[in-house]
C-alpha cells in the first residue's frame, strides 16, 4: 500500500466546518458577496427562493442550497409546505443566516417584503426560547434530543449574536425592529446570557466549560446522537466565551465565567500533535490521521470527559474510545474531533483581561493629566471613558478635559464625587455615543432600582459635557435612566439624551444645572428630579403619550425646572402629552417663550392624583407659541405669567451661586 501525505497540517476548524456545515456555498454567498451585488437580479432571484423556503411560522429548514434554481414543480411544492412546521430549526446556521441575507437584500433594495420576512424570522426566534433562556434545536419541539438546549454547531451563540446586534443597533442589520420588539429582544438576550452562566459545568466545584447540549429542565450536560455523549466541548465552548468577551461592562458573574473557562482551556489544550490527511492509492480515499509534531499549534478535543477532561471519541455504537484511529472510517472522517477555535479565545483574553479585570486595557504614559483622549481604535490614552475617569486627579486645581473620539462606547460611566471639574468633550453629538441598557427590572435591587440604571452617573461638581450622546437602549421596559446628575454646577451643551421612561434625572437639593442646545427624548417623566435646572434652546421630544417632566422641587427652593426658548416635538402619531406632573407636592416647572407641538394636551398639566399639589405646586408658562400652546384651556391651578413676573427668569437669577460658574465653561 502506497501512502502519501496529502495537504499536511489541516487546520482543525476547517476540518470541523467541512464535516458539519452542509451549506457552505450558500453561506459563502451571504457573507462574501459585495454589498452592491444584493441589488442585482441574480440576488433577487435567490431571495425569491429564500422567501419560498421560509415557513409561515417564520423559520427555515436547514442545509438548503438556497441559490440553486427551482423548477415550477419545486416552487409549487414549497408553497404547499408553507404551513408545515416540520424541520424548522436554527441548527447549522439555519434561520439566522437567511435573516442576514434578507437584511442585506433590504439594505440594497428597500423592498418591504424582505423586511417583513426578516421580522417574521425574528418573531420565530423569540417564540422558540425556553423560560430558562435557552433554545432548542428545533421549534416547534421535535421529540428526542432535539429539545435540549443546543450550543451544538453554535446554534444558540448565533441567535444571541443576532439579538445583540439588533439591540445595540450596530448597523450589521439594516432592519430596525419596533420598540416593543426591541424590548422583547433585550429580555431574551439577557435570559440567554443568564442561561449560559447557569449551564457552565462545575467539575469538582470548579467552573470549566459547556457541553454541546444541556437538558432543558435540569440544565445539566446531556447526550445527543449516539456518538455525542455528555462531555465538555472544546469547540462550542470557545464561541460561547468569545460571545461573553464581546459584552461591554461585564458583570462579576460574566467575568468569573470567562476567567474560569480560559483557565480550563489552558489546562486541557493538547500540544505536540496535528491532524493530516493521508491518501490511499488503492482505496482512492483520504483518511484523517493524528501525527506527532513538536512545533504544532495547540488543539482541543471536541469531547472531553466530564470527570477528568480526557479526550474521547465515539462511533455510532456510542462506545467510548480514546484514540481517533479506534473508530470506524465513516465517523473518523465525517466529524470534527479536534478544533483550534480556543486559540482565538486565548489570543483575545489578555486584552479583555486588561480592559475589564485589570483597570485599563493597555497602560500608557499619559502625556497631560489635564488633557486626555479616549478612542476605541487605540489612538488615544484610553480605550474607554471610565478608564480615563479612573485616571483623573481627585479634586484637581484646574479642569480635567477628556476628549472622546467618535464611536459607540458601550459602558456605564460614573464620574465620582472626587472627580470635580471634569469635562467630557465628544468629537460629534451624532457619532460620539455612550450607551448601555440597564433598567429597573434588570437591576432588581428593590423599590429604588431606578437610580441604579443610569448609563452615565455624574456625582462630581462642576462637570461639563459637550458634543456627545448618552442613551439607554433598554427600550420601553419601565424606568431606565440615560443621564443621572447628582452634582452642582453642571453644564451640558450640544448633547443628546436618548431613552424612554426617566431619561434624565437631575438631582440635588439646591444644586444648579444648565442644559443648552441639547436634545432630550423619552416617554414618561423623562425629565425628573429636584435640582434647579435651566433648559435653554433645547428640543424636548416625546416618543409616546406621557409626561415631559416630573419635578420634585423642595419647598424652599425658588426655582425648579425652567425651559426657555425650547421646542417640544413628537412624531405625528403621538398625542396626549402633559407638560408635567408633580413627583413631589412643591414641584416647580415653567416654560418661557417655548414652541409647543400639537401633541401637548390642552389642559397642559396633571396633578398626579394629588389635590394638594394643585395648591402648592407651581406650573407656569409665558408667551408660548405653536399648536400646543393653549393658555385659555390650561388647568385653572396653573399660571400664565405676566411680563413683570417673567423678568426674574434670567440665566443669572436661576443659576445664581457664589460665583458665576456658567460664564466660564
Q: What is the mean pLDDT of the segment spanning 560-588?
A: 97
β-bridge partners, 138: 89
- Residue 11 confidence (pLDDT): 34
- Residue 12 confidence (pLDDT): 35
Within a domain: 621: yes
User: Do 55 and 129 share a domain, yes or no?
Assistant: yes
User: Do 56 and 175 share a domain, yes or no?
Assistant: yes
- Residue 10 confidence (pLDDT): 36
Within a domain: 28: no
Q: Are 117 and 123 a contacting pair, CB within 8 Å?
A: no
Instruction: For residue range 100-118, list pLDDT tens digits in order.
Output: 999 999 999 999 999 999 9
Lowest average pLDDT, out of 261-270, 279-288, 412-421, goes to: 279-288
Catalytic residue from among 308, 340, 502, 576: 502
User: Do 395 and 411 share a domain, yes or no?
Assistant: yes
- Residue 657 confidence (pLDDT): 62
- Report the distance separating Cα 177 and Cα 99, nearest Å: 13
- Tell which of 140, 164, 199 closes a domain: 199
Within a domain: 10: yes
**The length of the chain, given as a count of residues:** 665
Q: What is the mean pLDDT of the segment spanning 343-362?
A: 78
β-bridge partners, 410: 435
CATH number at residue 194: 1.50.10.20
DSSP label of 9? S
Q: What is the SS3 assignment for 101?
A: helix
- Residue 665 confidence (pLDDT): 61
Rg of the chain over all Cα atoms, to the nearest angstrom: 30
User: Do 380 and 321 share a domain, yes or no?
Assistant: no
Would you say residue 3 has pLDDT above 90? no
- Residue 153 confidence (pLDDT): 92
Q: Are 426 and 435 a contacting pair, CB within 8 Å?
A: no
Q: What is the DSSP string of 437-480?
A: ---HHHH--STTGGGG--SEEE-SSS-EEES-EEEE-S-SSSB-
- Residue 606 confidence (pLDDT): 98
Confidence band for 357, pLDDT divided at 50, 70 and 90: confident
pLDDT above 70 as % of the chain: 94
Would you say residue 608 has pLDDT above 90? yes
Within a domain: 27: no
Cell numbers that stand for 478 in this block:
419601565
Q: Are 478 and 501 a contacting pair, CB within 8 Å?
A: yes
DSSP label of 35? G
Specify the number of domains making up the chain: 4
- Residue in the structure block whose three cell numbers are 483581561: 353
Instruction: For residue range 156-202, list pLDDT tens digits in order.
Output: 999 999 999 999 998 899 999 999 999 999 999 999 999 999 999 99
Confidence band for 303, pLDDT divided at 50, 70 and 90: very high
Instruction: For residue range 310-329, list pLDDT tens digits in order.
Output: 999 999 999 999 999 999 99
Would you say residue 362 has pLDDT above 50? no
Q: For the CA atoms of 230, 236, 238, 243, what is the dihedral angle to 10 degrees?
A: -120
- Report the distance separating Cα 103 and Cα 95, nearest Å: 12
Would you say residue 416 has pLDDT above 90? yes
Within a domain: 76: yes
Cell numbers that stand for 119 in this block:
421580522
Would you say residue 600 has pLDDT above 50? yes
- Residue 510 confidence (pLDDT): 93
Active site residue 462: no
Would you say residue 300 has pLDDT above 80? yes
User: Do 49 and 13 share a domain, yes or no?
Assistant: no
Would you say residue 363 has pLDDT above 70? no
Would you say residue 414 has pLDDT above 80? yes
Residue 229's closest CA among 310, 298, 300, 330? 310
Within a domain: 276: yes
Question: What pTM did the predictor assign?
Answer: 0.56
Question: Terminus-to-terminus CA distance in the chain, angstroms?
Answer: 85
Residue 3's closest CA among 346, 281, 210, 209? 281
Would you say residue 307 has pLDDT above 60? yes
User: Do 175 and 246 share a domain, yes or no?
Assistant: no
Q: What is the DSSP string of 533-558?
A: EEEES-EEEEEEEEEEEEE---TT-S
Would you say residue 359 has pLDDT above 80? no
Cell numbers that stand for 391 in this block:
485616571
Q: What is the DSSP string of 206-224?
A: EE----SEE-TTT--B---
CATH number at residue 584: 2.160.20.10
Active site residue 502: yes
Which class for 165: exposed (0-12), middle (13-18), buried (19 or more C-beta within 10 A)?
A: middle
- Tell which of 335, 357, 379 closes a domain: 357
- Residue 660 confidence (pLDDT): 65
Within a domain: 382: yes
User: Do 311 and 383 share a domain, yes or no?
Assistant: no
User: Do 339 and 432 share a domain, yes or no?
Assistant: no
Instruction: For residue range 123-135, list pLDDT tens digits in order.
Output: 999 999 999 999 9
Catalytic residue from among 23, 153, 381, 525: 525
User: Do 45 and 162 share a domain, yes or no?
Assistant: yes
Three-class HEC string of 165-192: HHHCCCCCCCCCCCHHHHHHHHHHHHHH
Q: Does a cis peptide bond (omega within 30 degrees of 0) precede residue 140?
A: yes
Would you say residue 508 has pLDDT above 90? yes
Angle between helices 41-53 and 72-80 (to 10 degrees): 40
- Residue in the structure block whose three cell numbers are 405669567: 641
Confidence band for 24, pLDDT divided at 50, 70 and 90: low
More confidently predicted of 21 and 344 = 344
Would you say residue 20 has pLDDT above 50? no
The dihedral region occupied by 494, where left means phi > 0, alpha psi between -120 and 50, and beta the remainder, is left
Q: What is the mean pLDDT of the segment spanning 637-663?
A: 87
Residue 238's closest CA among 159, 325, 302? 302
Lowest average pLDDT, out of 13-22, 171-180, 454-463, 582-591, goes to: 13-22
DSSP label of 487? S
Residue 332's closest CA among 301, 287, 299? 287
β-bridge partners, 471: 435, 498
Residue 130's closest CA among 180, 60, 195, 61? 195
Instruction: For residue range 529-543, list pLDDT tens digits in order.
Output: 999 999 999 999 999
- Residue 358 confidence (pLDDT): 62
Cell numbers that stand for 171 in this block:
448597523
pLDDT above 90 as % of the chain: 83
User: Do 284 and 388 share a domain, yes or no?
Assistant: no
- Tell which of 174, 199, 224 closes a domain: 199
User: Do 189 and 208 share a domain, yes or no?
Assistant: no
Parallel, antiparallel or unpaired: strands 320-321 and 469-472: unpaired
φ, ψ of residue 70 in degrees (nearest 5):
-110, 140
- Residue 281 confidence (pLDDT): 82
Q: Which domain holds residue 349?
A: 1-21+201-357
User: Do 7 and 96 share a domain, yes or no?
Assistant: no
- Residue 659 confidence (pLDDT): 59
Within a domain: 362: no
- Residue 376 confidence (pLDDT): 83
Amino acid at each position: 500500500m502506497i501512502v502519501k501525505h496529502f495537504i499536511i497540517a489541516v487546520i482543525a476548524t476547517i476540518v470541523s466546518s467541512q464535516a458539519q456545515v452542509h451549506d457552505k456555498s450558500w453561506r459563502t454567498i451571504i457573507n462574501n458577496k459585495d454589498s452592491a451585488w444584493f441589488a442585482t437580479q441574480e440576488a433577487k432571484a435567490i431571495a425569491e427562493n429564500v422567501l419560498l423556503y421560509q415557513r409561515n411560522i417564520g423559520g427555515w429548514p436547514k442545509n438548503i442550497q438556497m441559490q440553486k434554481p427551482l423548477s415550477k414543480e419545486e416552487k409549487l411544492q414549497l408553497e404547499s409546505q408553507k404551513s408545515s412546521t416540520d424541520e424548522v430549526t436554527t441548527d447549522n446556521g439555519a434561520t439566522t443566516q437567511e435573516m442576514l441575507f434578507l437584511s442585506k437584500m433590504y439594505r440594497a433594495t428597500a423592498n418591504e417584503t424582505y423586511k417583513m420576512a426578516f421580522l417574521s424570522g425574528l418573531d420565530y426566534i423569540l417564540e422558540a426560547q425556553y423560560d430558562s433562556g435557552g433554545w432548542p434545536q428545533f421549534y416547534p419541539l421535535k421529540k428526542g434530543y432535539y429539545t435540549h438546549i443546543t450550543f451544538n454547531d453554535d446554534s444558540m451563540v448565533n441567535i444571541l449574536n443576532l439579538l445583540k446586534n439588533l439591540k445595540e443597533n450596530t448597523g450589521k442589520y439594516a432592519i430596525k425592529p419596533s420598540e416593543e420588539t426591541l424590548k422583547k429582544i433585550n429580555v431574551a438576550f439577557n435570559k440567554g446570557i443568564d442561561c449560559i452562566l447557569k449551564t457552565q459545568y462545575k467539575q469538582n466545584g470548579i467552573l470549566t466549560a459547556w457541553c454541546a447540549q444541556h437538558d432543558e429542565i435540569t440544565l445539566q450536560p446531556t447526550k445527543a446522537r449516539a456518538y455525542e455523549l455528555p462531555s465538555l466541548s472544546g469547540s462550542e465552548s470557545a464561541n460561547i466565551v468569545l460571545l461573553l468577551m464581546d459584552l461591554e461592562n461585564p458583570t462579576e458573574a460574566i467575568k468569573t465565567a470567562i476567567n474560569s473557562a480560559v483557565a480550563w482551556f489552558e489546562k486541557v489544550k493538547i500540544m505536540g500533535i496535528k491532524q493530516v490527511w493521508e491518501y490511499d492509492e488503492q482505496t482512492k480515499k483520504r483518511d484523517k490521521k493524528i501525527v506527532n509534531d513538536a512545533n504544532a499549534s495547540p488543539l482541543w478535543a471536541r469531547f472531553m470527559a466530564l470527570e477528568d477532561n480526557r479526550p474521547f471519541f465515539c462511533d455510532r455504537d456510542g462506545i467510548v474510545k480514546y484514540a481517533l484511529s479506534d473508530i470506524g472510517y465513516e465517523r473518523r472522517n465525517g466529524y470534527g474531533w479536534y478544533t483550534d477555535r480556543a486559540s482565538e479565545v486565548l489570543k483575545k483574553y489578555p486584552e479583555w483581561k486588561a480592559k475589564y479585570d485589570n483597570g485599563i486595557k493597555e497602560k500608557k504614559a499619559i502625556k497631560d493629566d489635564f488633557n486626555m483622549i479616549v478612542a476605541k481604535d487605540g489612538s488615544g490614552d484610553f480605550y474607554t471613558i471610565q478608564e480615563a475617569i479612573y485616571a483623573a486627579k481627585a479634586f484637581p486645581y484646574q479642569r480635567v478635559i477628556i476628549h472622546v473620539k467618535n464611536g459607540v462606547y458601550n459602558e456605564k460611566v460614573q464620574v465620582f464625587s472626587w472627580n470635580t471639574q471634569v469635562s467630557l468633550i465628544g468629537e460629534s453629538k451624532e457619532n460620539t455615543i455612550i450607551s448601555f441598557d440597564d433598567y429597573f427590572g434588570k437591576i432588581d435591587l428593590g423599590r429604588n432600582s431606578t437610580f441604579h440604571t443610569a448609563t452615565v452617573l455624574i456625582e462630581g461638581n462642576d462637570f461639563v459635557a459637550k458634543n456627545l450622546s448618552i442613551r439607554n437602549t433598554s427600550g420601553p421596559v419601565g424606568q431606565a435612566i440615560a443621564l443621572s446628575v447628582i452634582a452642582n454646577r453642571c453644564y451640558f451643551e450640544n448633547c443628546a439624551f436618548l431613552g424612554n421612561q426617566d431619561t434624565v434625572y437631575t438631582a440635588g437639593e439646591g444644586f444648579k444645572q444648565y442644559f443648552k442646545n441639547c436634545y432630550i427624548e423619552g416617554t414618561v417623566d423623562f425629565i425628573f428630579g429636584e435640582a434647579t435646572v435651566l433648559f435653554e434652546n433645547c428640543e424636548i421630544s416625546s416618543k409616546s403619550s406621557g409626561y415631559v417632566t416630573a419635578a420634585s422641587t423642595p419647598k424652599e427652593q425658588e426655582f425648579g425646572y425652567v425651559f426657555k426658548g425650547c421646542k417640544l416635538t413628537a412624531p405625528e402619531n403621538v398625542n396626549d402629552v402633559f407638560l408635567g406632573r408633580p413627583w413631589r407636592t412643591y414641584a416647580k416647572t415653567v416654560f418661557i417663550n417655548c414652541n409647543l407641538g400639537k401633541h401637548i394636551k390642552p389642559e397642559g398639566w396633571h396633578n398626579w392624583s394629588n389635590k394638594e399639589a394643585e395648591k402648592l405646586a407651581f406650573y407656569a408658562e409665558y408667551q408660548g407659541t405653536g399648536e400646543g400652546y393653549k393658555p385659555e384651556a390650561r388647568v385653572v391651578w396653573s399660571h400664565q405669567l405676566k411680563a413683570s413676573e417673567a423678568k426674574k427668569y434670567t440665566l443669572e437669577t436661576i443659576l445664581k451661586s457664589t460665583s458665576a460658574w456658567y460664564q466660564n465653561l
